[in-house]
Structure 1
Amino acid sequence: MTATTTNIHRARLLSALLVGTMLGGLAQPAMAQQAPAQPPAPEPAAPAAQPAPLGPAQALGTIKSVNVAGSERLEADTVRSYVKLAPGESYTREALDQALKDLYETELFADVQVRDDGQGNITLQVRENPVVNRIVLEGNKRLKADKINPEIKLAPRQIFTRSKVRADVNRIIELYRRQGRFAATVEPKMVQLDQNRVDIIFEIHEGDKSKVRKINIIGNEKFSDGRLRGEMATKQTGLTKIFSSGTSYDPDRMSYDQQKLRQFYLTQGYADFRVVSAVAELTPDKRDFIITYVVEEGSRYKFGDVDLESEIRDIKASTFKYLLPMKKGDWYNAKQVEDTVDAITEATGVFGFTPDVRPDFTRDKDDLTMGVVFKINQSPRVYVERIDINGNTHTKDKVVRREFRLSEGDAFNSFKVKRSRDRIQSLGFFQDKFEVEQKPGSAPDRVVLEANVEEKSTGELQVSAGYSSLERFIVDLSIRERNFMGKGQELRAGVSYSTYSKSIELGFTEPYVFDKNIAVGVDLFRRDYNSFNFAGNDRNTTYEQTTTGFQLRAGVPLTEFITLATRYGLSYDQVSLNKFTYYTDTNGDGIRDACDPVVAGRYLCDAIGNRVTSSVGYSLVFDNLNNRIRPSRGQRAVFSQDFAGLGGKVRYIKTSVQATKYWGIGGGFIFSAGGEGGYIKGLGQDVRLIDRFYLGEPDMRGFGIRGVGPRVIRRYIDPNTGQFAAVNDKNYTNDDALGGKAYYRGRLELELPLGNGARELGLRPSIFMDVGAVFGVSKPALIAPENPGYPFALDEDGKYLPVLRPVLDSKGRQLYISAVGNDNAGAYTLCEIGYSSSAKNPCVGGVRNDKAQSTISPFREDFYGDSAKPRLSVGFGVNWNSPFGPFRIDIAKALLKEPGDNTKLFTFNVGTQF
């Protein structure tokens, strides 16, 4: 006898519905391979004689045997274990129905039949679910496979089940919804293979991101919709938000926006503010969302009585009352209360306490005042049980651990935890927004500190190359690894080459020698620099400087925030001028043996020579920045002195000081102010040209390289006027920066926040103001008509005559111009009489040649720029972490300048990281 036809058909119908609704044609092939059709299971033959109908609770007989048919991977005993049918027991129609359900609920079978031959022999006819051969994703462009695969629970070599496929579809859709793609659909398909195997294909239709078309706010009377939308992370779509990722709909972001609204109102004094409801509705076209917030602002409160109390004997409340910024009568500000709690906790933490600072509020709804008493309570002593560091695949554990100001077993101190976070962040090895998490330990008085870091690129490759008519081919290459081999060591090398400058530099720094908090480093360098000036658009080389040397560095912390850095440097400088351009023959023997001030200027003639500089110096550094790479609060101050004269020919003492402070002023704005200054004094000798201070690009934006400060400007006769050219006439002037013995520089800068999209692109714009000056050099001897020894004579018309200088070859020999009657008339030759193409060939011809001479046009020299008056520039710039590397562009306008200063409107720099 067979189980009731109704139950069997019901089971088959349930199976068909599951296949049709969840797999969308699961049995249909999704690839070229066609799965063979499965023949329907044959219906059992009807018995010759039908017994009389039985009631549902009546026994059909006693079970003699339970047989299994159709199983391939599963043992028969395993299949029998899933049902409650056993030989020797009586069975009913309901028992057969339940056996059918039990087998389907295992999700191991594609088809099940329960047969009864009428003699008590039960047959469980099964067809097993296939085995998954592989999982295939199709259509996923916005979300890569490495993001989806970890979420899929179904895997190769597992038994296929519909519930797992259904769950995986939901997981994939949820991933797309987190990206704001609510229109995404996933259609699972199955390709039947041999040996009862299948490929599961998830066909993904990603759809467009669901944007927020409109944000409505109802109930706000004190602040406009636009003002409140500005506080939210979610933004309305529009032309100004094309780069913002905040325009996509995200339910989690909606919850965050409600908190942002509440925080904003609490900072404005509205202590009773609440968001009544927040609803997101899909637009009729099913593409965008409209979000509506209903708010209740409530009344605005002022601060009432504000006080500080301490229950810790060693902490006097009066000592820390200066940390209370709010006064009675000020508008209530919840953020100010939170900041005050942090400030008190941090200040008391410096003295080794771990207090529990809590504000106690007294609300007066009649007077609309909020009294606050900050209570410093003694919290139970908690100890650091363990410090865990996770996520560092390249950086060694000890590099992170040595930055912790706490050790395992120490008493917990929130100030030291915060300081540890800042120090680890300042390494620059990990992503921003790093925090040290605190987790419960094995006992109530134990805490586990967990540093979950995410490493980022610490190598920097900066490359610039180009060509110009003045510099010819230009290439700058520098490579720097700030975390060499994951040990926190810094290794750098740089090469620069152009027609006018060449340099190579190598450097290495070990921040912890023998695992002690002592840093040492060494720098090796060779620099060839050709100083230059401009005559019109022509660039002329003036002096050539070659410096070769090294520097040894060491640093040791004196306190948590103060470090002493020492250094010793030895360098060999060679400053020279081209003899065939700037030298003259003083003895009449054809040898240029002396610098010609008419051509070079007396200040350049005084600078030439070879000198050894042996210097020792130190710096005292105070630094409590929260992040040395990209600070947002804290300050840094440096006092430095260098003494040259420990051997060598150069003697001076150089002193400099600099300080910078950063403030996070809310809303993502970061304000910074910085200043620096210095003075160098020669010890028994004048300070050399190459040892002085210079100011300009990039330190003073809005001015050119060495564009600020003392300089000598050589003005030639303007043929259009017959007079010496004006100071700012670049066509008939050139200038040489002389540097100064003293300088100062100040900077104010405000970093502006942008939307999420711009932040994701790495854009950080800022506006700035730079001020500074270089001064303090003696006026050099100048060539001018009013000074003795002026080399240019007047003709009978009162005009200055040019000065002639002999033209020499590369070996200092006089050149002649071949006269008419000799070979190659007009060509240069070494022959005084006749012509020869080279010094090795005899002179042919008998006509005397004229000496080749160069013409120096009349000029006068003037001294400008030696003034402590401030130069001032304002502008804006953008830092961009571009695909090509870090990119900085500045546009600045010089508002205050002195005659002779060189200004520059636009500057940029580019590099890359690895």
Structure 2
Amino acid sequence: MSTFARGDLGRHGRAHLLAASVFLGVASVSAVAPQAVLAQTYRFSNVEVNGNQRVDASTILSYAGIGRGEAVSAARLNDAYQAIADSGLFETVELLPRGGTLVINVVEYPTINVINFEGNSRIKDEDLASIIQSKSRRVYAPSMAEADAASIVAAYEQQGRLAASVTPRIIRRSENRVDLVFEIVEGAVVEIERISFVGNRAYSERRLRGALGTKQAGLLRRIIRSDTFIADRIEFDKQVLKDFYTSRGYVDFQVLSVTPELTRNRDGYLLTFNLREGQQFRFGEITTVSDLDDVDPDEFQAAANIKPGQIYNPLAIENTIARMERLATRKGMNFVRVEPRIVRNDRDLTLDIEFAVTRGPRMFVERIDIEGNATTLDRVVRRQFKAVEGDPFNPREIREAADRIRALGFFSKAEVSAREGTEPDQMIVDVDVEEQPTGSLAFGLNYSELDGFGAAISFSESNFLGRGQSLSVRIDTSSDNATSRLVFAEPAFLGRDVRFRFSALYAETDEAYNALYDTKVAEISPSLEFPISEAARLELRYTFGEGEISNYTGNAAIIQADANRGGLSYSKIGYTLSYDSRLTGLDPNTGWQLQFSQDYAGLGGDLEYIETTALAAAQTTVWNEEITLRAELEGGALAMLGDDDSRLLDRYFLNGKIRGFDGNGIGPRDLATPDREALGGNMFVVARFEAQFPLGLPEEYGISGGLFADVGSVWSLDTPGGVDDDFNLRSAVGFSIFWDTPIGPLRFNFSEAIAKEDYDRTQSFDLTIQTRF
């Protein structure tokens, strides 16, 4: 018998071993009469198995498939050998015919003692262990070790380390055990040095690069991973480009090819997208037809929110179909389907849309199966479906549910499919998800021009206890103030599309914003928010709190009066009505928001007033979407209902609402005091205008510029006491630098006040976290 010792055994080594064993298996017969053996048959009355320790002899015989007394040819012996060898249980196999006895000699694969990883630093051992199939205390198999090595290489390729290599090695131990070691050479990250486009006419390379998930290597290449070359991401970027162009009316758009090319030093890629844009189309005639007796086409036509002349957008068609099908459901018409029929007019570059209201097949939802959610409760996923078991099956609603599941942010993968159930008219919906981390704990430093340097600790969980609820706790401190806030939200209160929110706040200030007093505010507020139309929502809330001004060291009589009142509580109810045009999806480049709020304080507590605020905001892009224009108009009024005057804590100061002025920098001020202390006002209005545009820098730096102009005022006191509380407009203009960083979008404002009062306090520079429209 032969023996075979090895440290590494790959695919080629195994092939040689198989050939050697086949030769040994027939050598004792072919040595005498090689030509006769090929036709000779054998009958074995006995089978002898040697060398097996863990695998039972009967198991080996079952692989061989040779029965006692059965006529066996040499070819059949070879097949038996192959079957035993292919079981993956044995390192070597021999079949030796000895008269009426078949001798099977085997050497079992060793057992894996431990698995080690060497040379890895970018991926942790525990993460690599979850990738491979080989496990401790299981049988070692060279083929599985090679497959595990390939899986590890693929994991490194996902990080852009295309030069990574992995070699599996074994270290033999006593008692037929081995240590399995994966020797890893991670290699360097291959970055994308440049992304370019060929064939783009309507949009610049800068605009197209901004739409892609893949980015060029820039200043923050050590932190940003989206600039590493990952082949799988190219297909995603191709779809992103198609969606980008199609939503802007370019229905014939194609990505002809994507060419990745290594740089001369082989340390980066040049990525080139070859495009065919085609022509931009607009909506033409919009009509609705139906051959159903119970359908009034005019009624369904009224549900369409598409107007002729608008730039073609597939999302607008999807929204119209959804509106029409919801109308049919409200009218008790099941299995109604709306099919868009598109007629292309190349001469005037329009697309006529005919919505055909038809009766679809009678299909029902048999059940919804959810797999992969180890933490997230089934009901969190299930409530994303508007249909339940027994409801009519609607493919469009299933697609929309899949989008809602992905939008939760709880899963790294969410696939939704449908298949036939136990009956032809029954459908089973399968949901396959993979969970991802949804919580974070952060410690850090922060900086604000108003508050100075400070420290912050925060905890947030968007899928609390797997219930789909969100919980966040944040504590911020600085030299002048400290704020603690807790927010809990249930997005589907009582199983409905109702968002329940509970917030608690405790804040202290110590002569903040140049004030000569301290403040304390504690507040709790539960609320309910729900939709009242496709794009409008209503929030109802209750707020109870208490505020106090203390340690006043100034000379303003109005502030001293507030400090003498001590801590005062307030109990108020309120509502906010909001409208967001972007929810209709008609225009990807233009959107506007409206918000109106009122709060009534007087349900107990020490204060009675009505506070009213309103906000209107709009944004659009011009010059082939290179420049973004924004405008906001905001105002508020505080009306006291009792005999008491408004408090300093309740009045407006416009901090953060108008640029170019310091904290507590504008509004009524007691000029008779040495420090000219700010008093705030009962009313305010402010308009903000800005334009954001590229500066010509490489877009991978994430830096752009902007111009802004703010104008507004805060005024009105209940008892001015000789203080000027008239409506005096202030305005400021300035230049902004926007920088998208991993910690958030930073904004640097350089401003100049051009209309102000002599007593106002200005500020020429501030650094903030940019808020998005």
Normalising by the smaller structure, the TM-score range is 0.7 to 0.9
SS at match of 2:9: helix
**CA–CA distance in 2 between the matches of 1:544 and 1:462?**
27
C-alpha change, 1:432 and 1:359, in structure 2 (3 Å) is same
For residues 12-58 of structure 1, give each alpha carbon's deviation from its aligned partner in whole angstroms, at most 9, with x where no partner exists.
99x9999365579999xxxxxxxxxxxx9xx99x99x9856543533
Shift of 1:338: 0.3
Q: How does 1:391-410 map to 2 (within 5 A)?
A: 409=390
Q: 1:307 aligns with which of 286, 302, 305?
A: 286
Tell me the residue number matched to 2:686: 745
**CA–CA distance in 2 between the matches of 1:449 and 1:50?**
62
> Is the aligned partner of 1:774 residue 2:714?
yes
C-alpha change, 1:744 and 1:555, in structure 2 (3 Å) is same
Whether the 8 Å contact between 2:686 and 2:711 is mirrored in structure 1 is yes
Tell me the residue number matched to 2:600: 642
Q: How does 1:193-208 map to 2 (within 5 A)?
A: 193-208=173-188
Whether the 8 Å contact between 1:695 and 1:709 is mirrored in structure 2 is yes
Whether the 8 Å contact between 1:614 and 1:645 is mirrored in structure 2 is no
Tell me the residue number matched to 1:709: 667
C-alpha change, 1:182 and 1:301, in structure 2 (3 Å) is same
For residues 327-374 of structure 1, give each alpha carbon's deviation from its aligned partner in whole angstroms, at most 9, with x where no partner exists.
2xx8xx6xx330221231243355354864444334466x47454323
Tell me the residue number matched to 2:540: 565
For residues 47-98 of structure 1, give each alpha carbon's deviation from its aligned partner in whole angstroms, at most 9, with x where no partner exists.
9x98565435332765454333333333334333433655545555545544
Partner amino acid for 2:109?
Answer: N
For residues 632-652 of structure 1, give each alpha carbon's deviation from its aligned partner in whole angstroms, at most 9, with x where no partner exists.
97846232133459685x654
Tell me the residue number matched to 1:74: 55
C-alpha change, 1:320 and 1:54, in structure 2 (3 Å) is same
Q: How does 1:165-244 map to 2 (within 5 A)?
A: 165-212=145-192, 232-235=212-215
Q: 2:105 aligns with which of 92, 113, 125?
A: 125
**CA–CA distance in 2 between the matches of 1:419 and 1:304?**
24
Whether the 8 Å contact between 2:668 and 2:725 is mirrored in structure 1 is yes
**CA–CA distance in 2 between the matches of 1:765 and 1:405?**
44
Bigger Rg, structure 1 or 2: 1
C-alpha change, 1:747 and 1:126, in structure 2 (3 Å) is same
> Is the aligned partner of 1:656 residue 2:606?
no
> Is the aligned partner of 1:609 residue 2:609?
no
Q: 1:619 aligns with which of 574, 581, 584?
A: 574
Partner amino acid for 2:172?
Answer: Q
Tell me the residue number matched to 1:249: 229
Q: How does 1:517-556 map to 2 (within 5 A)?
A: 530=511, 533=514, 542=516, 555=528
Partner amino acid for 2:635?
Answer: G
Tell me the residue number matched to 1:19: 9
Indicate the larger mover: 771-780 or 381-390: 381-390
Tell me the residue number matched to 2:317: 341
Partner amino acid for 2:565?
Answer: N
Shift of 1:567: 3.5
SS at match of 1:641: strand
**CA–CA distance in 2 between the matches of 1:410 and 1:227?**
44
Whether the 8 Å contact between 2:303 and 2:324 is mirrored in structure 1 is no
C-alpha change, 1:397 and 1:602, in structure 2 (3 Å) is same
Shift of 1:774: 0.2
SS at match of 1:154: coil
Whether the 8 Å contact between 1:671 and 1:751 is mirrored in structure 2 is yes
Tell me the residue number matched to 2:586: none
**CA–CA distance in 2 between the matches of 1:667 and 1:87?**
82
Whether the 8 Å contact between 2:669 and 2:676 is mirrored in structure 1 is yes
Q: How does 1:674-753 map to 2 (within 5 A)?
A: 674-683=632-641, 685=643, 687-688=645-646, 690=648, 693-713=651-671, 734-747=675-688
Paired residue total: 740
Whether the 8 Å contact between 1:355 and 1:376 is mirrored in structure 2 is no
C-alpha change, 1:370 and 1:446, in structure 2 (3 Å) is same
Partner amino acid for 2:663?
Answer: I
Whether the 8 Å contact between 1:764 and 1:880 is mirrored in structure 2 is no
Q: How does 1:338-377 map to 2 (within 5 A)?
A: 338-349=314-325, 351=327, 353=329, 356-363=337-344, 367=347, 369=349, 371-377=351-357
SS at match of 2:761: coil
Shift of 1:139: 1.9
Tell me the TM-score normalised to structure 1 length.
0.64
Q: 2:756 aligns with which of 879, 885, 898?
A: 898
C-alpha change, 1:169 and 1:306, in structure 2 (3 Å) is same
Whether the 8 Å contact between 1:384 and 1:447 is mirrored in structure 2 is yes
Whether the 8 Å contact between 1:532 and 1:543 is mirrored in structure 2 is no
SS at match of 2:47: strand
**CA–CA distance in 1 between the matches of 2:250 and 2:676?**
63
**CA–CA distance in 2 between the matches of 1:219 and 1:513?**
50
SS at match of 1:74: coil
> Is the aligned partner of 1:867 residue 2:728?
yes
Q: Percent identity?
A: 23
C-alpha change, 1:368 and 1:73, in structure 2 (3 Å) is same
C-alpha change, 1:908 and 1:652, in structure 2 (3 Å) is same
C-alpha change, 1:397 and 1:503, in structure 2 (3 Å) is same
Q: How does 1:713-862 map to 2 (within 5 A)?
A: 713=671, 734-747=675-688, 770-777=710-717, 780=720
C-alpha change, 1:418 and 1:753, in structure 2 (3 Å) is farther
Shift of 1:140: 2.5
C-alpha change, 1:403 and 1:752, in structure 2 (3 Å) is farther
Shift of 1:743: 0.7
Structure 1 runs not aligned, ≥5 long: 1-7, 28-39, 534-540, 583-599, 716-732, 783-861
C-alpha change, 1:646 and 1:387, in structure 2 (3 Å) is same
Whether the 8 Å contact between 2:480 and 2:510 is mirrored in structure 1 is yes
**CA–CA distance in 2 between the matches of 1:359 and 1:512?**
33
Shift of 1:131: 2.3
For residues 408-437 of structure 1, give each alpha carbon's deviation from its aligned partner in whole angstroms, at most 9, with x where no partner exists.
5555689988998999999xx855999894
Partner amino acid for 1:744?
Answer: V
Q: 1:316 aligns with which of 284, 287, 298?
A: 298
SS at match of 1:164: helix
Shift of 1:204: 1.6
Structure with greater contact order relative to length (CA < 8 Å, sep ≥ 6) = 1
Structure 2 runs not aligned, ≥5 long: 330-334, 584-589
Shift of 1:197: 1.6
Shift of 1:170: 2.6
C-alpha change, 1:652 and 1:612, in structure 2 (3 Å) is farther
Tell me the residue number matched to 2:587: none
SS at match of 1:679: strand
Whether the 8 Å contact between 2:412 and 2:435 is mirrored in structure 1 is no
C-alpha change, 1:765 and 1:155, in structure 2 (3 Å) is farther
Whether the 8 Å contact between 1:570 and 1:615 is mirrored in structure 2 is yes
Partner amino acid for 2:95?
Answer: V
SS at match of 2:676: strand
Tell me the TM-score normalised to structure 2 length.
0.73
C-alpha change, 1:236 and 1:479, in structure 2 (3 Å) is closer
